[in-house]
């Protein structure tokens, strides 16, 4: 029978991260008639782009339909690692695969360096991550993968089932891959730091402003927004898992928008926290519909997340499913109460790689499709497009890749449900 999560008396359905951080919001100002660059979406991608553009002296406005920074960028698990949704061997099998991989490593290190660059703290904790094999077939693949990591000089180790037990005190996995480089962050502190940096260098950030249309003009673009029209020379669309399929249909056909959910427990006894995660690592399993978990930066709570369904669902239903999954892996947590539960939107792509570039026909610049692993790459892509738009010669190996559309209409509910079943079957087979 499905478990129902016990709740703390002060339980709320809102991100745990928001308890510790107020995302700074600028007071509404009249929209300027014209601006050099308009950025649609005020998450890591849009904020990093705006920061680069404004510090180079160009006018930039960031428009978000919600509060600035309130999307996935302040709701995520704060697990930062090189690579992306694809594993190292899949990266290396691509044209320019080594370049792509090295760019993800640079993106990862770039996040670590932001603390000094911006003079902010966001609980950067370099503790490594473990990918936990949910199927013997995956564990065998991880053994080979560990050798591939070594061949490129990246520190990683295959863990057999008994090593895994030493890492997470659970016997549910068939093996694991430990990657030492990875880190944890406090995602909302990171978002707040980017808001402050962009604002300090002159970017205008406006929440509660929905972009309803982007029309090309003989020179530049006209944006129709919920607060009036705006002319600009360049547009960056940075809406990732919240991409409106009608705003720029070409982009809308290329991302599959799905929910990812998390719970945060009440503070637990230090010995209990240690029994779950003795080394403070970031964990995720290897399923397509995966679970991911870690300790809060203060080491006192278990933060457990996952894609509970491809179809639309609720925070309440996801909370109970996640609680059941957490207790299955760590039975000693049964009875620990949940204090916060929340969800956010991620963007999957057909090739499971993220994409950055300029659309050939419309000239619109975009960066999105992080497939749920976007903390490092969203900030990196945002900075890359920001520098492009300031005429600085910044390259991304990802920009050379073509971007296939999702091969079926991604918004049709029964097709999404069907894809969810397909993922479950693949997970059962270890594919």
Note the residues at the interface with ligand FAD (CB under 6 A): 40-46, 63-66, 70-73, 75-80, 210-211, 238-242, 244, 247, 260, 262, 292, 305, 344-346, 368, 370, 372-375, 378
Shortest distance in whole angstroms from residue 176 CB to ligand FAD: 17
> How far apart, in whole angstroms, are the C-alpha atoms of residue 33 and residue 326?
51
Specify the residue, 147 or 411, whose C-beta has the smaller distance to ligand FAD: 411
Shortest distance in whole angstroms from residue 338 CB to ligand FAD: 15
Specify the residue, 298 or 334, whose C-beta has the smaller distance to ligand FAD: 298
105 burial class (0-12, 13-18, 19+ CB within 10 angstroms)? middle
Shortest distance in whole angstroms from residue 194 CB to ligand FAD: 9
Among residues 198, 136, 144, 203, the alpha carbon closest in space to that of 164 is found at 136
Among residues 110, 46, 117, 125, the alpha carbon closest in space to that of 79 is found at 125
Shortest distance in whole angstroms from residue 4 CB to ligand FAD: 21
Specify the residue, 45 or 142, whose C-beta has the smaller distance to ligand FAD: 45
- Give the E-state strand segments of 13-72 in sequence order: 34-40, 60-63
Q: Where are the alpha helices (DSSP H) in 203-342?
A: 249-252, 270-276, 315-329
Specify the residue, 76 or 142, whose C-beta has the smaller distance to ligand FAD: 76
Shortest distance in whole angstroms from residue 50 CB to ligand FAD: 11
> How far apart, in whole angstroms, are the C-alpha atoms of residue 319 and residue 351?
29
Specify the residue, 246 or 335, whose C-beta has the smaller distance to ligand FAD: 246
Shortest distance in whole angstroms from residue 397 CB to ligand FAD: 19
By DSSP bridging, strand 204-206 and strand 211-216 are unpaired
Specify the residue, 82 or 220, whose C-beta has the smaller distance to ligand FAD: 82
Among residues 407, 168, 114, the alpha carbon closest in space to that of 283 is found at 168
- Give the E-state strand segments of 307-371 in sequence order: 338-348, 355-358, 365-368
Cα-to-chain-centroid distance, residue 281:
18
């Amino acid at each position: 029978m499905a478990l129902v999560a016990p709740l703390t008396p002060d339980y709320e359905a809102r991100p745990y991260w928001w308890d510790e951080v107020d995302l700074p919001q600028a007071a509404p100002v009249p929209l300027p008639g014209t601006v050099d660059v308009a950025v649609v979406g005020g998450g890591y991608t849009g904020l990093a782009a705006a920061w680069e553009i404004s510090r180079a002296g160009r006018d930039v406005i960031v428009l978000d339909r919600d509060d600035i920074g309130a999307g996935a960028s302040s709701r995520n698990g704060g697990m930062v690692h090189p690579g992306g949704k694809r594993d190292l061997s899949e990266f290396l099998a691509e044209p320019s695969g080594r370049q792509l991989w090295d760019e993800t490593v640079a993106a990862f290190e770039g996040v670590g360096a932001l603390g000094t660059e911006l003079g902010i703290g966001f609980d950067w904790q370099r503790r490594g991550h473990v990918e936990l094999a949910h199927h013997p077939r995956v564990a065998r693949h991880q053994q080979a993968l560990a050798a591939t990591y070594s061949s490129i000089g990246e520190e990683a180790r295959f863990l057999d089932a008994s090593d895994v037990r030493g890492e997470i005190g659970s016997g549910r996995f068939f093996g694991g891959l430990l990657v030492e480089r990875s880190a944890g962050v406090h995602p909302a502190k990171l978002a707040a730091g980017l808001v402050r940096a962009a604002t300090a260098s002159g970017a205008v950030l406006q929440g509660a402003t929905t972009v309803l249309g982007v029309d090309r003009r003989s020179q530049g673009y006209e944006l129709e927004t919920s607060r009036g029209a705006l002319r600009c020379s360049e547009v960056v669309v940075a809406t990732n898992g919240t991409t409106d399929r009608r705003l720029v249909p070409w982009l809308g056909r290329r991302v599959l928008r799905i929910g990812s959910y998390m719970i945060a427990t009440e503070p637990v006894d230090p010995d209990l926290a240690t029994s779950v995660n003795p080394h403070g690592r970031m964990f995720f399993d290897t399923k397509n519909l995966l679970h991911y978990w870690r300790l809060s930066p203060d080491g006192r709570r278990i933060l457990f997340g996952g894609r509970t369904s491809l179809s639309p669902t609720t925070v309440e239903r996801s909370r109970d499913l996640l609680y059941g999954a957490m207790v299955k892996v760590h039975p000693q947590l049964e009875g620990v109460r949940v204090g916060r539960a929340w969800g956010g939107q991620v963007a999957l792509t057909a090739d499971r790689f993220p994409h950055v570039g300029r659309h050939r026909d419309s000239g619109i610049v975009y960066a999105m499709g992080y497939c749920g692993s976007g903390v490092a790459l969203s900030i990196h892509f945002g900075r890359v497009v920001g520098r492009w738009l300031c005429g600085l010669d910044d390259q991304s190996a990802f920009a050379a890749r073509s971007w296939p559309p999702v091969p079926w209409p991604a918004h049709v509910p029964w097709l999404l449900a069907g894809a969810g079943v397909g993922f479950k079957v693949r997970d059962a087979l270890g594919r």
